[in-house]
Amino acid sequence: MSTGQKPRRWIQALLLAGVVVLMVAGYGNHWLSVSGTSAPPNQREALPDFQFPSWKGGQWRLSAHRGQVVLLNFWATWCPPCREETPGLVKLSEQYGSKGLAVVGIDMDENPKQVVPSFLHQYGIPYAILLPSPGSRLTESVESLPTSLLVDQRGRIVRSYVGAVDEGVFARDVEQLLRETEGEENLQKGVRRNA
């Protein structure tokens, strides 16, 4: 082996190690089921209203879903953790859709018309898929995929999740919000009866 090849291989090995470190640092957290703490009702921050085109046509607007729990999932077809998480989101939509949950996928692909149809078919996605406007404030605030936001019936952020989240974690949080709403409704009925 010539002396010129040793430095070249050494540089190649360093570059490869650097790429691996960047991949682990940049993508490693996507494989974790990380959820933030749930905000109590009196400390929840309102999510500004937004409207995006829906894959099926028309516009989807957050404020049109007041009274429902909304799970916003930011994803892309090229994202392995997004693919890992999708079957659980499909189950959640099917299990809780009639009980007051709206699961909504916000696609972050650059060319959605080319890549989204096969993804939707492969996973049998029944929930709304939105195609955000380039440079929207909402999508610009997302730093990694998948990211999900759980929004209460008043349009306030209850919890944010970064990385692929197990369906059971989502289900627990959704059920808690749905019970919270039932409690508020029962309290209001009691107040009306006593008035």
For residue 180, what pLDDT is reported?
A: 86
Query: So what's the pLDDT on residue 134?
Result: 81
Phi, then psi, of 154 in degrees rounded to 5: -100, 5
Give 94's Cβ-side CA count (13 Å radius).
11
Contact 128, 65 (CB under 8 A): no
What was the pLDDT predicted at 183? 55
Can you give the pLDDT at residue 38? Answer: 76
| Angle at the Cα of 42 from the Cα atoms of 178 and 151, rounded to 5 degrees | 45
Specify the pTM.
Answer: 0.76
Position 20, amino acid:
V
pLDDT of residue 114: 95
Contacts with 78 (C-beta within 8 Å, 6 or more apart), sequence order: 109, 115
Write the CATH number of the domain with boundaries 33-194. Answer: 3.40.30.10
Domain ranges within the chain, ordered by starting residue: 1-31, 33-194
Q: What is the mean pLDDT of each run of 10 residues along the chain (195 residues)?
A: 47 35 33 55 90 96 97 98 98 97 97 95 97 89 95 95 95 94 53 53
φ, ψ of residue 160 in degrees (nearest 5): -120, 150
What is the DSSP secondary-structure string of 147-163? EEEEE-TTSEEEEEEES
Helices (H), 36-166: 80-96, 112-123, 137-140
